[in-house]
Each structure stands twice: as structure tokens, then as C-alpha cells.
Structure 1
Amino acid sequence: NFEAISRRELVAVAAEAEPTEAEPSAAAGVPKGRYVALLFDNLSLERRNRKQVLAALESFIDEGLEQNDVFLIALNTGKLEIVKPFTSNGPGLKAALRGLAQAPASGDSLKKSKRYLKRTVYNEEIYRTVQGPGGNVAGEAGGADSIDYSYAVASSQRLLTEINNMRRLEYERIRQALQVTDELVRAVAGVEGRKAVVWVGEDLALRPLLDVYNVWYSRCVPLETVMTVLQPEVWGEDLKLDREFAALAASAQASGTTFYLIDASDRDRELATADYTPPSAVSVFMAESTGGGAWTPGANLAEVRDLTEGAHYMALATGGALYENTRDVERVLDTLADQVATYYYLGYRRDGPPDGKRHDVKVRVHGDNLRVRHHDQVLDRTEPQRLADLAVARLRLDIGGNELGLKVSLDEPEPSDGGRFIQPVQLAIPVNRLVLVPDADRHLGQILVAVAVLDDEGNTAPAHLVRLRLAIPSDRYSEDAVAVQRIRLLMREGTRRIAVGVRDEVSGIEASQAIAISGEVPSAGS
């Protein structure tokens, strides 16, 4: 139970818990426009492409600020880095964008490696003829019987090994990008209002490196009688990211967030500068002998579509849009601005109390040639789920209200085993901010508490929920009293920040606060 003490006694126990005037509520701080989060996937972006998009985004921000939007700038550097929290400060946002333009771009070496591998697969001399006596080509008329199949199999398998190695790297890169994006989506779930995430990156594939494997398959399918040559659809299933994309889409639907994705790759430039040197006459013969028609040099545009398969999925699942082949970046951002600014709110209440589940949604409109974008599913959010979202929003973005006058303070941590420690946390709420019900010789109340933590690698776990009962003897009750609860949290080393959300379950009023963990964490036995 809570302990009720006077203000004077509270100061003696923990000076940090002295209650202050209530902060503006989250509802009071909701902008008339939208919350727009700009997330740059730095691990996939080439410096040249990123610089073009960053420059064009300045006018996009100006247009949004005129509509009372607020913007956040975030970066994937291997973890979620909030470069600029939600703000309507135009000069500050533009300065942050210009700073990003000068930062190192990890995508340069990645794209160079992938382009080199694809050129190698195109250009590698897989097939060569067997030399007969006197240097003549063995076999009738130098046809298929003259091919050195042992050499062809060895060359093909070596290329496939390189493709599989690069696929594993791409799989991990995309999986990590989805995890970071999910961290941002879960952070904005507790923000009330219209929310959009503008993801800027390159090559968000559902089946990594399928575009390169398609090239390998087209060249190696003549060898399927002497080695295993999987169909591209089968090969792509081995390291497919469908579950990860579905989980991110579900998170976005639960938080009410719409995704707009900009694939910043300049495909026209990539194709124009690619060196797809024609293979030898033997390779041409083998390719055409499989019934694929006349061999032609250059890239298959279907391979390009494989690179954005995951981005297409996210746009469709969340009611957003994908913009690709972005050579004309300003035109793309003009279209994006119109998309973000044009929307309807549709309200619908299910029968019965909220069930905390996601439900399918279908929106139909009158009229021909109309396309409606909307979330495939929506979450019927319960009050505990809402409070957990508020705690994570406070943890990550320091957004939220405090109408309860909640104060959070930390006592000295205590050692534990297994690389963990115990962190005592004190919650203090003025009694006059709570609704307490008289009951005989007591005043009763109940609050719901959500606790979220952030580690030094930028990861958060689902908020932990607990209900606490408040019982104050009538002879100790006064409007000047403060209710104090001390809780002990078992945490892993590396925890850097704690956020607490509180809901008075009688009045429905909510509050949240966050506090950083500083200093050394005691080890076991100290």
C-alpha cells in the first residue's frame, strides 16, 4: 500500500519528490497538424542519395510547419538515435538535416559491394569449351557436348557461395533496420493525434538478394541436370523476412502510424553506369538453349522490383505510400506532402469493452476510380495498453502529461546476481490530485502503474504493469498529504533510463515521468 505523509515529512524523506504545479496534459499539447517522424536508415543510404533527399526535405518541413505539424528527426546507426525530438522549430530542424548531410554514410560500401557482386555474376565466364586433340573443340559443332561441365559447376557454386554470404549480411541489415523502426513506432504509440513515419533508405527487400540470385539462376539453369539449381521462388523462402515485416506492420497498426517510404536509390543512374559486359558466345549459346529466347544484355527491371518488395508491403499494410526511383526528389516530396496532409478520421466503436486485440478493417467509398488507403487492422486498445504506450513515449521522446503531479526519484541501487541490480524507485503523488472514496475509517483509491526501461544499446522492453491499492486512514487524510509508493525493480546492467506511467483508475487521469540512472551500478558481493 501507499504511505501517506505530509509535505514537510516528504521533504525529509526525498527532496526530489516535492510536488509542483501540474504540467500541461498530453491532450493540451496535441498539435493541430500531425506528428511526422523522419527516420533515416543510415546503414543503407549512399551519401549522394542521402544528401539530395535531405536538401529537398527542408521545403517539405516548411510546408508541414504551415499546417501546424511537428517533426522529429531520427537516425538508424545500428540503434535508434533521436537527433531532434518532436518540435515546430524550423531553423533547428533544418540545422539537424544539414548536420546529417555531413555525417558518414554507411551505405556507400554496402551498395558498392552489391553492385560489384551483381556485375560479377553477369560477367563471370561460367562456361568454357573442352579442347580436343590438336586444340580442336570437342563435341559436335562445338555445341552443348563441348562444354566443360566440371568447370561450369565449380564456377557456379563459387558464385552461389558469394551470393549466399552477401544475402546473410543483407538479411541482418534489413532485420536490424526493422527492429530500429519498430522502436520508433512503439515510442510514438503513446502520442495522441495523427502520426506518420517517413522512412528514408534503400533496398528494403522482403527476400534479400533475390535480384542477384535471379541473374545467377538465368545463367546456371542449363546446369540443373548436373547440380541443384533452385527456382528463385524456392531459394527466396530460405531467408525471408515476412514475419519481421508483419510484426512491424502490426506494431504500426496498433500505434495508429502510417508509413511513407522513400527508396532513395537512383535506379536510372545505377542502370546507366552498370557494366553488364556480354559474356562469351558459349554463354550466350547456353542461355538461349534453355528456351529463354534471344539473350540480351542489361538488367531485368523485375530484379529492381525485388529490392523494394518489403517497402511496398509496409506502405499497403499501413495505408501509406512508397516513392521509388527518386531522381526528381522535389517532385516526390511534393506528392508526399499532399499524401500526408490529405486524410479523414473515421470513428467506430465496437460493442462491449475494449478487448486489446487487432481487428480487420475495410473501408468502402462511393464512386469509380477511387482508391482508399487505410490500415489493414486497428487495435481496440485497453486502458492498460494505453498506459504502457504512454510510458514508452515518455521514455523515448519525453512526451506526456502530468496532471497528477507525479514525481519519480531513485534511491541507491543494490547489488544482485547474474549481471543485474535492484533499483528502488519512489513514486509520489499529492493526495489532492487523486480521487479517493471514503470507506468507514479510510479513504480508498487504486492506481495502475506502467514501468518502461531503456538500455545503453537503445533497446526497450514491453512496459511492466502493476495495480496498486491506496488506503489512507481518515485520521491521516488531508488535502496537504502526499501518497508515496516505493517499488523495487530488478534490472540488467546497462539500464540507463526509467519511465513511469500512472493512471488513477477512479478518475481516469493519467501522468508520466522519466528519470535517468546515473553513477556506478553495484556488482554482486560489493
Structure 2
Amino acid sequence: MLILSFDRVALVFLAVVLAVGSVPAQTAPPDQATTEPEGPAATGVFHGEVEVSVVTLYATVVDRKGKPVSGLKADDFAVFEGGEAREITLFEAIDRIGLELKSTVGQGDGEGEELPAPEAQPGGDSVVVVFDNTRLERRARRRVLKALEEIVEPLRKQGAEVMVGVMAPGFEVIQPFDRDSERIASAFEKVADTPTTGEALKAEKRGLKRDVYSGLATANAQTIQIMARSEGQRLEIRIDAFREVEMQRALEGLNRIESLVRSLASRGGRTSLIWVTEDMTFRPGIDIYRRFYNRFSTFLALDLPDFWGTERDLRLDFDRVIGTAHSAGVTVHVVDASERDTEAMDTDFGAQDPFTATASQSVGPSTRGYDFSEVNDAIEGAQYLGYGSGGGFFGNSRNFDVFVDAFVETTSTYYVIGFDRPGPTDGQAHSVKLEVKGSGLRVRHPAKILDRTPEQRLTDSVVSQLVWGEGMNTLGLNVRVDERQEAEDGTVLWPVHLEIPAVGLLVGDDSRAVVTVVLCVGASDGTIAQPQQFRLVLPVPEDDSLTVGTAQVTVRTRPEGDRVAVGIRDELSGATATELVALIPGS
């Protein structure tokens, strides 16, 4: 992760006097400019917060066959928060299955005139499609792209905004959020031309699996225990080395997905993320080790597969991403593009020796030693992430049209359910349970809801500005970055200057404006530093509303830090603004 820190430097607010002719700027006394740590609001500043926070859930109801169920009413649901029943105060049933865009009839200039059909239905949701080129094979990716061509038109009819991007290894946006079906289809074609490093990873993995099988066959044929032991030790070293590579790739993928999910929190509405990847498991390399253990445990003292690699278990990292998805209101749908059905069908189960016949292992040229236990090992993390976030999972098959149909159905039919929580927002995650009446019906929804404070919403906007470049600057915030300074520890220091016009701020009875500032740094590899937050107090003279507050902070980053996003919030009016600035020209 990037390291982001602040050096507290003198904060000076400049009073600018505008008049006809050239008038020099006047500097306000330094003791009038202050900063305040996060905590209770400054005395004299009014907070007009309503003492009720509204919670909104997006829920999908499915029957025994997994088909979405429509036509339910508010009375069919019951909401519980922390075990206490809540009254449903907001309900909307969304059903866009089979939606057709039609022209409407209105008054217009002439009676009965037909108006043009809209490009898409209003109120659509957001869909993000991400291809993990660090883990995907080109042929597997091509099949998924072919199936996703069928998703473009239904999403257009739904009015959904679609974004397409790739991990390679940083995150690259191929097509920003758009409703135009032609541009989205063109983005999928561009993805097919992007390079992928997953080819090498998968080839190495297949080769290692085959060596595990053939290595024992060679040693066993010579009936020499010491040779089998030597061969096993060599393979164990290779498995450990491969595990480190796969674990690093998996961590990078999870970190980037978490950053993407985090950046989507400010979009509002229902947001779905489709992550096309391969072999996302809890314990990298466990599918290879399980085969290795089955064949070499007679010759070597090996840990049982259930206890191997526990120090490399990524379950907590998957939990972290799921928690972020719940907090951001994003459902993640994981597509494992591996060809395991092809591998199984192409396997030759003809036996050449008693050991192979007993273990039912393949010796054919296509997939030697194929073991069906690998299926669960290789997809358990992806399944956990998809279902745990309230989304879904698809894998172990080349029939990706099934996923497309299911995704369109589940995102076309859902329910928006809201309830009021007494008291102001607290910034904490709350456990929520939604029940539905009816035999055989199941409801999918986030189990944890983050009750966002205004500061947390500002942070969401800053992260969105950093990742997508989406934001508004209605308060006239100006951000300027000076030349970088090299630190002795190898990090880089960036002096960042903020200019905040007071003309857009509300001033309290004590003639002060209080502004919350959130600052976040992004790197060229797609990672995001931990956002930093502080508060500025700007004295605004009654006879001069054109005061401009300036502040300087020093941002410490690793060398790959290339951009900074800053957001401000007027604590009295609630107005916000964000701005994105490149640390490195051209980045």
C-alpha cells in the first residue's frame, strides 16, 4: 500500500480585495487561521443534521430453481436490524425483464403526435465488467467476450450504465460509464486485443501438475526409494515457488477489486461488478499440493493438505473485499473462465500401471493426472466472494451464456426496500436481515450496511474522483502541486496547496466557515492509499465575503504515486467539491 502522511505546516488564509484597478492582496493575521483535529464540531458552528438516517437495501428474491421472483409487495417482506424489527418506509419493485423500448404518445405540437423513443429507460443501474488479464488465458477470455456480446442490448434496455476495464497488472479503463451499446460492444473488442500474462501462469501450472504425476512414475519404475525422495523434494521446492507467485497475483487482484468496489460507493443506485478471472482460491497452490501429497506422502514427511499453506490463507483478504462490497452497496459476480470441463472431457483414463489404475488418474497426452478435487480447490475463493457479496458465481463450464441469462434476470428484477433508523448517522456497519414470505423463496441482500456519515460520503466521492475521474467542483476548489522532493528513505514528498473561496461557503454566527478536507493518493499500478482527513477553520470577516482560504500539506508517497484527489465539504451547508490533480505531468 502507499504511505500517505501529512507534515503540519503553517496554514495562512489570504484576504483578497477586489476593486476597480489593481489592488494587492492583503494577508489576514496568521492567528486567525487554524486547523482542528477530527472530533466534535467547533463551537458556534451549527450542524443541521436530521436525527433519522435512512437505510436502503437492494434485494433479489429467487425461487427454488434460482429464478428471480417478481410481483411481491411490501407486506411480503420483514426487515430486522440487529435483531429488532424495522418498519418499511420505502418500497419499489423493479421488473425490467422483457422490457422493450417503445415510442410514447404525447400532446406535442399536434394532437396524437408520436415522440421519439428514448435511448434507454431512466433510472438504470451501474454495471462494471473487469477482465483480470494477469490470470486469464486468451482463449478463455475470448469465449467470455463472445458470450458477453449478448449482454449489451438487455443492459441498454434497462438503462444501465456500463464500464469496461482490464487489470494488466494496473487497472485500465477501456470504456468509461456509458449507455451507448455500440461503444460498449466496441470496448469488448478492444479487450480482446489487450495483452494477457495469464497464459504463462496457467502453462506453468499445468506443466507442474504433469511433472508431479510423471515424476513419481519415473522413480517408481526404478523402485528406488531415494530417487523418489529426491524427486519429491525437487517438486516441493517448485510448488512452494509457484505458490508465492500465485499468491502475489491473487493479492494484487483482490486489492484492485477492493479499490474498484470502494470507488463505486458514491454512484448511488444498484451497482454490479462482473470480475472475469481464473483460479481464485483461498490457498494458492493447494490444488497442486493435494496431487503432490497423494503421490509422494509415502516417500516424504509432508503436511496434510488441510494443514498445508495455512500461513498463506487468503480468507481474511476475501473477507475484506466482501466487507467493502457490503459497505459500498456493490454486488460482485465472479466468472471463472477456466476450461475445467474441457480438461475433464479430454482426459484419457487408460491405465498404464497398477498405481494409476487404483487412483483413476489420467496418463493421456491432454491432461495427465487430472484430479476432480482440484475443481473445489481452485474456485472456493471465487465462490465465497461472489455469494458472500450478494452477487453470484459461474465456473467450470464453457457455457457462459447461462451466466449472461442469469445475470440479466437477477439485475432486471429486484426490490428497493428502505427503513428509518432512529438517530443520526454513526458511520458504523449494522447487521441487517431481510425475510420474505412464501414457500421456497429466498432473498439475497447485503448482510452488513454501512451507515455513512457525511465525511464518509465525501471520502467516497474523493475515491471515485481518483479512480474514475468523476466529480463536481461547484465550490471553486483549486489544487496545485509543487515539484517533488526526494526523501532519504526513498519516498517522495509533494507540497500540495489548496485554495478554497469562501464565497461558496456558509458562515456561522462566529464569522467562521468550517471545512472538512479529504485527500487521497493513487498510484500507477491501480492501488489507492488510505484517505486522510482533517478540518480547516476559515475566519471570514463580515465586511469581506471574498476571502480565499489557502492551506499547504506535504504528502509523502512511494515513487509510483502519480495523482492526488482532494475533496472538501462545507460543514454548515453540506455542499461538497472534489478535484483531481496529476502529481506527475502526463499521468
Alignment of 1:420 onto 2:492:
yes
The residue aligned with 1:485 is 550
Q: Which amino acid aligns with 1:114?
A: K
Offset at 1:501? 1.2
Alignment of 1:201 onto 2:273:
no
Query: In the aligned structure 2, how far is the partner of 1:78 from the partner of 1:503?
Result: 34
Alignment of 1:61 onto 2:152:
yes
The Cα offsets for residues 499-526 of structure 1, whole Å up to 9 and x where unpaired, read as 11111111112221212234599xxxxx
Moved more, 486-495 or 260-269: 486-495
Query: In the aligned structure 2, how far is the partner of 1:512 from the partner of 1:214?
Result: 51
Corresponding residue to 2:325 among 224, 248, 252: 252
Q: Which amino acid aligns with 2:176?
A: P
Query: In the aligned structure 2, how far is the partner of 1:10 from the partner of 1:41?
Result: 59
Corresponding residue to 1:444 among 476, 491, 512: 512
Q: Which amino acid aligns with 2:583?
A: I
Moved more, 482-491 or 331-340: 482-491
Q: Which amino acid aligns with 1:42?
A: N
The residue aligned with 2:375 is 304
Alignment of 1:10-159 (within 5 A): 32-124=123-215, 125=217, 127-128=219-220, 147-159=223-235
Q: Contact conserved, 2:341 with 2:396, CA < 8 A, in 1?
A: yes
More strand per residue: 2
Q: Which amino acid aligns with 1:339?
A: T
Q: Contact conserved, 2:477 with 2:577, CA < 8 A, in 1?
A: no
Query: Quick one: structure 1 residues 278 and 408, their matched pair in 2 at CA, closer, same or farther if it must change by over 3 Å?
Result: farther
Query: Quick one: structure 1 residues 208 and 520, their matched pair in 2 at CA, closer, same or farther if it must change by over 3 Å?
Result: closer
Corresponding residue to 2:300 among 227, 230, 236: 227
Query: In the aligned structure 2, how far is the partner of 1:216 from the partner of 1:67?
Result: 49
Query: In the aligned structure 2, how far is the partner of 1:412 from the partner of 1:219?
Result: 61
Which stretches in structure 1 are left out of the alignment for 5+ residues? Answer: 15-29, 131-146, 289-293, 522-526
Offset at 1:126? 5.7
Q: Contact conserved, 1:126 with 1:156, CA < 8 A, in 2?
A: no
Q: Contact conserved, 1:50 with 1:101, CA < 8 A, in 2?
A: yes
Corresponding residue to 2:568 among 502, 511, 519: 502
Q: Contact conserved, 1:401 with 1:511, CA < 8 A, in 2?
A: yes
SS of residue matched to 1:43? coil
Alignment of 1:173 onto 2:249:
yes
Which stretches in structure 2 are left out of the alignment for 5+ residues? Answer: 1-11, 26-120, 363-368
SS of residue matched to 1:425? strand
Q: Contact conserved, 2:516 with 2:536, CA < 8 A, in 1?
A: yes
The Cα offsets for residues 306-326 of structure 1, whole Å up to 9 and x where unpaired, read as 111101111122101001134
Q: Contact conserved, 1:410 with 1:424, CA < 8 A, in 2?
A: yes
Q: Which amino acid aligns with 1:366?
A: K
Query: Quick one: structure 1 residues 240 and 277, their matched pair in 2 at CA, closer, same or farther if it must change by over 3 Å?
Result: farther
SS of residue matched to 2:427? coil
Query: In the aligned structure 1, how far is the partner of 2:482 from the partner of 2:377?
Result: 54
Offset at 1:60? 0.8
What is the aligned-residue identity percentage? 31
TM-score by length of 2: 0.74
Query: In the aligned structure 1, how far is the partner of 2:441 from the partner of 2:533?
Result: 44
Q: Which amino acid aligns with 1:445?
A: A
Alignment of 1:186 onto 2:252:
no
Offset at 1:466? 1.1
SS of residue matched to 2:235? helix
Q: Contact conserved, 1:359 with 1:379, CA < 8 A, in 2?
A: yes
RMSD over aligned Cα atoms: 2.9
Query: In the aligned structure 1, how far is the partner of 2:404 from the partner of 2:288?
Result: 30
The residue aligned with 2:51 is none
TM-score by length of 1: 0.82
Query: In the aligned structure 1, how far is the partner of 2:22 from the partner of 2:149?
Result: 48
Query: Quick one: structure 1 residues 347 and 284, their matched pair in 2 at CA, closer, same or farther if it must change by over 3 Å?
Result: same
Query: Quick one: structure 1 residues 371 and 123, their matched pair in 2 at CA, closer, same or farther if it must change by over 3 Å?
Result: farther
Offset at 1:176? 1.1
Query: Quick one: structure 1 residues 103 and 515, their matched pair in 2 at CA, closer, same or farther if it must change by over 3 Å?
Result: same
Query: Quick one: structure 1 residues 93 and 295, their matched pair in 2 at CA, closer, same or farther if it must change by over 3 Å?
Result: closer
Query: In the aligned structure 2, how far is the partner of 1:198 from the partner of 1:387?
Result: 26
What number of residue pairs does the alignment pair up? 471
Q: Which amino acid aligns with 1:44?
A: R
